[in-house]
Amino acid sequence: MTEDEQEQDVISKVEKFGWMVMRVSPRLDDPVREGFAYTIGLAKTFGWPELICFGMDQQAMHVMLNNAVEECRDRQEAPAAGMMLKEVLNNYETKLSPIRPEDWVPRLGWARWFSDYCSLPRERLSCLQLVWPDKAGLFPDDPRCAEEDRLSQTPVSDVDDKTA
């Protein structure tokens, strides 16, 4: 199998570091202008779910996802729904939340490709969402969470594979 340059880049980074973060910018024609970032390789390297993040700038989400993986690795705990993380975002706890398959499957195109490349069974690929609290310390799953923070972290429905 011959990989193109981008495929080889994904393979090389996961081999070197154990995972990588893919940043997805919104398309210019996207009226919602949703950007997000997600991990690739956690399923192969650790047997963990991949992680996805919404609502911040690309670089911040990249750093947050790397910090989340490193904290889980340092704690020797697999990421799990409801897990609180203390070393992801300066002075704020973050949380790993469940995310519906219809909200992550179409977005994790490269993670799905890498999983197939490694011959991992599709059922081994899953995902959790990394979320942060509003200024009052409320997470998006709390109806009292500030609407702006909740909406920025809520994936937009009906995303097609072209974004990921």
**Residue-level pLDDT at 123:** 86
**Residue-level pLDDT at 23:** 93
The reported pTM is 0.90
Over the chain, what HEC string results? CCCCHHHHHHHHHHHHHCCEEEEECCCCCCCCCCCEEEEECHHHHCCCCEEEEECCCHHHHHHHHHHHHHHHHHHCCCCCCCCEEEEEECCEEEEEEECCHHHHCCCCHHHHHHHHHCCCCHHHCCEEEEECCCCCCCCCCCCCCCHHHHHHCCCCCCCCHHHC
Token pair 């972290």 is found at 153
**Residue-level pLDDT at 164:** 42
Per cent of the chain over pLDDT 70 is 89
Token pair 């949703």 is found at 34
34 neighbors 23 (Cβ within 8 angstroms)? no
Residue-averaged pLDDT of the chain: 90
Distance CA(129)–CA(55), nearest Å, equals 11
Phi and psi angles of residue 157, each rounded to the nearest 5 degrees, phi first: -75, 165
Q: Are strands 127-131 and 50-54 parallel, antiparallel or unpaired?
A: parallel
pLDDT per residue of the chain (164 residues) written in tens, 0 to 9: 457 999 999 999 999 999 999 999 876 666 556 789 999 999 999 999 999 999 998 999 999 999 999 999 999 999 999 999 999 998 789 999 999 999 999 999 999 999 999 999 988 899 999 999 999 999 999 999 999 999 999 887 655 443 44
49 neighbors 128 (Cβ within 8 angstroms)? yes
Distance CA(2)–CA(15), nearest Å, equals 17
Structure tokens at 97: 């939340």
